Amino acid sequence: LFKVYLFVLRERKKRCPIFMEPQNLTGVSEFFLMGLSDDLELQPLLFGLFLSMYLVTVLGNLLIILAVSSDPHLYTPMYFFLSNLSLADIGFSTTTIPKMLLNIQTHSRSITYADCLTQVSFFFLFGCLDNLLLAVMAYDRFVAICHPLHYPVIMNPCLCGFLVLVSFFSSLLDSQIHCLMVSQLTFCTSVEIHHFFCDAPQLLHLACSDTSINTILIYFMGAIFGGIPLSGILCSYTRIVSSILRVPSTGGKYKAFSTCGSHLSVVCLFYGTGLGVYLSSSVSPYPRKGAVASVMYTVVTPMLNPFIYSLRNKDIKRALWGIISRTD
């Protein structure tokens, strides 16, 4: 009977990853980021593509920040929040793309355990900050359109600074909770992450320990830091649309809607791509397809935000042309 028990135990170890030998994560450990493709011929193309997108993202968002800070006419709450959003977009892209480019260039897929935790922490910090700032900007547009006479009093500099600080420290709390959660996991000898960055759900799949509480925590934190801001955005735009429809003239409706058109475009892009990644990763059995889909909200969205705000905004375009003329 004892021999039969040993035989069954050996077979279970082969089939079930929970019986795999855990690694000691208190020492030097590493994960392997499998990236977007195993095709060696595609690597130079991916390197050039993502390097170009990263440079456009950083340059575009830096120009937005420079335009807002250099033009006194843009010292308003809307542009103050926009410059903070641009800063968060730079951080969001910098968290993932440079490491991916380094791995492609050095033909290495490894990332140390400490770097992986750092990436998880900053990814949730800037991702959550993006989310909260979009909600704050929706509230700003709601006050500007629905309570225009009280706008300077309500959206005073103290409140604007307070809202940004609350958004930052809430995002910091969210990132530290996720980082602490990942640091408590025990991983098996198979540490291949089918992604181009350390994605928390992917790390949960690699864990040998019980992750049911961690999964519940991820959904709970997502409901708080994702669901509540989204609800605030929907509520704000419901009131905004209701207020715009009461404007008698067509020109007045267009003018009122144009003040929030850029923000609404960014909101749709941010949440639309995020929802698309969630649905694609849930439906598709191949984890790498989820990695390809996540390029949209981790790389493409931060790159497009400056174009959306600059192309549809005369004040930003005027400030940018002023910067160009001064450099000449």
Phi, psi of 239 (to 5 degrees): -70, -35
List CB contacts of 8: < 8 A, sequence separation 6 or more. none
**φ, ψ (nearest 5 deg) of residue 193:** -100, 115
Contact residues for 160 (Cβ-Cβ < 8 A; gap 6+) = 77, 80, 81
Determine the Cα–Cα distance for residues 124 and 63; give it in Å rounded to an integer. Answer: 25
Look at residue 187 and give its three-state secondary structure. strand
pLDDT, tens digit, for every residue of 260-299? 888 888 888 888 877 777 666 655 556 666 677 788 878 8
Residue 173 has pLDDT above 70, yes or no: yes
Exposed (0-12), middle (13-18) or buried (19+): which is 229, by Cβ within 10 Å? buried
CA distances from 251 to 115, 198, 247, 248, 256 (A): 53, 49, 9, 9, 9
Judged against a pLDDT cut of 50, whether residue 224 lies above it is answered with yes
pLDDT tens per residue, range 92-103? 999 999 999 998
**pLDDT (0 to 100) of residue 132:** 95
* pLDDT of the residue at 128: 93
Q: Identify the top-confidence range among 142-151, 202-211, 255-264.
A: 142-151
Between residues 90 and 281, the one the model is more confident about? 90
Amino acid (1-letter code) at residue 295? V
Show the tokens assigned to 106. Answer: 């050095």
What pLDDT does 87 receive? Answer: 95
- 């791509």: which residue's tokens? 273
Give the tens place of pLDDT for each residue, 35-47: 888 788 888 999 9
Mean pLDDT of all residues belonging to the chain: 82
Tell me the three state secondary structure of residue 36.
Answer: coil
Which range has the worst mean pLDDT, 4-13, 183-192, 194-203?
4-13
Does residue 54 contact residue 93 with C-beta atoms inside 8 Å?
A: yes
What percent of the chain is modeled with pLDDT above 70?
85
In tens, the pLDDT along 174-184 reads 999 999 988 88
Question: Which residue is listed with tokens 């992917």?
Answer: 202
Place of tokens 């604007």: 160
Helix (H) or strand (E) holding 33, with range, is strand 30-33
Overall average pLDDT of the 243-263 stretch: 79
Give dist(CA 221, CA 178) in Å, integer.
9
What is d(CA 222, CA 227) in angstroms, rounded to the nearest whole number? 7
Cβ-contact 79, 262 below 8 angstroms: no
Give the predicted TM-score (pTM) of the model. Answer: 0.85
Q: Is the pLDDT higher at 174 or at 17?
A: 174
- What are the φ and ψ backbone dihedral angles of 189, each rounded to 5 degrees? -70, -20
Q: DSSP string of 82-125?
A: HHHHHHHHHHHHHHHHHHHHHHHHHT--EEEHHHHHHHHHHHHH
* Burial (Cβ within 10 Å: 0-12, 13-18, ≥19) of residue 153: exposed
- Three-state secondary structure call for residue 32: strand
**Whether the Cβ atoms of residue 79 and residue 259 lie closer than 8 Å to each other:** no
Looking at residue 174, its pLDDT comes to 93
pLDDT of residue 50: 92
Residue 221, classed as helix, strand or coil, is: helix
- Cβ atoms of 225 and 132 closer than 8 Å: yes
Mean pLDDT along residues 245-257: 77
Tens of pLDDT, residue by residue over 120-154, are 999 999 999 999 999 999 999 999 988 889 999 99
